[in-house]
Structures are given as structure tokens and as C-alpha cells.
Amino acid sequence: MDEPFGPEYVRPRQEDCPRCACCTADLCERGRNSVMRCCGFTPHEHRETVFGCPCSAETTKRTAAWRAAQVRATRLACEKPVDTAAEELLRALADGRDVDDDGALFPGLKVRGLAQLIDLRPAVTELGRTYLAARDDVRAPAAVHVVDVDPRSRTARVEVGAWREDEPVTVLLDQVTSDTGLDAETLPDRWLAAEANCHAEDADRLVLTGFSETDELPDGWMGDES
């Protein structure tokens, strides 16, 4: 039998992601390591299906979108905080107190991702708690040692001596290169400076912002000098 158009190509079936019901394993790996999330790697006609995928969501710890959101909320708190009345409302929500709002303040918190509606009631988000922590934390310049970089996941592992000397934390590689203007391949074993909340309880609460080059190891980088 003649086949004038040649054999029909059928794309091999990809393995389903074991953690969600909407994506393939390959898609979730890419989405988890990108601020574009899974929907950013999906054709337009299928984006609605994967839009809320938890594997790449900014509400899921340690995704690229989550790391970027932590930095965004921290910078908002430090550089462009909401006004006093809105912050008081956010603190009331975080404390679980009943609040009266005329509708002017909550929408602004919601659009910034700091608050949400749960069962039609205003509530703080985890990003809102990050924002409040940044408002209350002591943030100061800290020396940062780049241990290594992972081009595949677009992350870098760094040590912050003023926090914990031998416990590397993961940061977004694109954040470091964007802040410093350095190429990724030049980062391993390099010393940088960044703003840090060095009283953070664990690595998930340690947020580094404003990476910059430093010419020499700062005095007291280990955090044990007076």
C-alpha cells in the first residue's frame, strides 16, 4: 500500500506528574524551576488546564515562583510599604481579629497578594505574613559566599556566615545575576554582599535582597565579632 505522505508521526506519550492531575512530569519540572510556572510553557489553548498547578505555584514552598514572591514581598515592605491604615488592617487579619473595612483598603492588599477572601471573609496570605515579617525584621548587609550554581534549575546555593556558617541556602540565580550584572559561570566561590534578615528561624524564612559585588571579605562576616 502506498503512503504518499509518509508515515504519520505520533508524539510519544509523556509521563504524568505524580504530584498533580494536570501536567506531565517534564512540564512540572520546568514550571517548578521558572517564575513562568507551568502555564508559561503550555500552548495558549491548554493554559487554563494547568493554570493553578500546585507544582509551580508561588504558594508552594521552594518553587521559583515562591522564591520570587518572597523577594517581591520583602522589597515591597522595605522600599514601598503600604500606608499605615492598610498595614494595620493586614496586622489585624494576621492576628485573626475581626476587622471593619469600608472596602477601600482590602482590595489594595488583595491585588498585592497580601490578603485574600476565604469563605467570603478577608484573610491574610502567607505572602502577607512574609511582608509583615519584613516590616518587623532587622535587615542588614551581610557577606554572602556563592557555593555553586545549578544552570538547570536556575538556582544558586549560598552561605550567609552572619546567619549560619555551614548551611547553604538556595536563591534564584537570575536574581543574583540581575542584581550584580555578573555572569552565572563566574559566581561559584565568589563573595558578594546582600541585605539579609539574619535572625530568621530557618532557610525558608531567610530572604536575601540587593546582591552586589564586594572586593574583599567584610570584617565580622562570620557574625561572631562585636
Residue 19 has pLDDT above 70, yes or no: yes
Which pLDDT score, from 0 to 100, does residue 144 have? 96
Which pLDDT score, from 0 to 100, does residue 102 have? 72
pLDDT band at 61 (very low <50, low <70, confident <90, very high): very high
What are the boundaries of each domain within the chain? 23-57, 65-136, 140-213
**Percentage of the chain lying above the pLDDT 70 cut:** 89
Domain over 140-213 is classified CATH 2.40.50.140: yes
Residue 8 has pLDDT above 80, yes or no: no
Query: Side chain identity at 15, as an amino acid letter?
Result: E
84-108 pLDDT tens trace: 999 999 999 999 998 877 788 999 9
Neighbouring C-alpha atoms within 13 Å toward the C-beta of 56:
27
The stretch 138-165 carries a mean pLDDT of 96
Residue 51 has pLDDT above 90, yes or no: yes
**Percentage of the chain lying above the pLDDT 90 cut:** 83
Distance from C-alpha of 171 to C-alpha of 154, rounded to nearest angstrom: 9
Residue 7 has pLDDT above 90, yes or no: no
Cα 20 off chain centre by: 20
pTM score, whole prediction: 0.88
Residue 226 has pLDDT above 50, yes or no: no
Q: 72 and 58 in contact (C-beta within 8 Å)?
A: no
Which pLDDT score, from 0 to 100, does residue 58 have? 96
Which pLDDT score, from 0 to 100, does residue 101 have? 77
State the cell numbers at 114.
497580601
Residue 225 has pLDDT above 70, yes or no: no
Which pLDDT score, from 0 to 100, does residue 170 have? 98
